[in-house]
A and B are shown apart, each in its own frame.
Chain A
């Protein structure tokens, strides 16, 4: 089955680091960027950024310097990481596939989401 599978829910304290993952098949990572979207509880969607090997990572200005996107195409896995979490990072984070040729907001496949809770 063609899908993106994300790592499980995380409960962290402020100041801690975190790396969440998004694994797909060779198909999902071929001819596509991988993007991340944030959704705070009972709130709307926010575009974090997109990544592909061999291309500059494109971050939303709101997330530049706040998170790190990375990609390991040898194992079809993308990552989103924080070096020092804040309570305001509490949200669901989705990874999604962006096929080549589509613009940055046209994700055609999504992971199930990873709930990140930051609380002391």
Chain B
């Protein structure tokens, strides 16, 4: 069982927006700004999309955005494209040298 809770699946049509949530506790998401999101296509290595809740690395389209409210972090993908179909993982610092991940959300583009 993962430390952070994500819905197993999400879906949307091309051009639509989809939001994926990640729920933790006061020990992780609620207690740190170090929340990140990764995209992983099948058989590939993860790719960093968002770090420190809202920051986007260079090269990541601004269609991807992050936010947080109390113990829940969210990743919003706007203007869905076929290439966005992948698994998305959230991660948070949890104190005591501990970094935790969510179980992942499979995003399907209909």
Contact = CB atoms under 8 A, between A and B. Distances in A.
Partners in one complex: yes
Contacts of B2: 44
A59 B97 CA distance: 7
Contact of A44 (B34, B35, B52, B102): B102
A24 interface: no
Contacts of A41: none
B45 A111 contact: yes
A46 B48 contact: no
The number of chain A residues touching the other chain, given as a range, is 20 to 34
Interface in A35-71: 37, 44-47, 58-61
B46 interface: yes
Interface of B: 2, 34-36, 38, 45-48, 51-52, 57, 89, 91-93, 96-104
Interface of A: 37, 44-47, 58-61, 94, 96, 102-108, 110-113
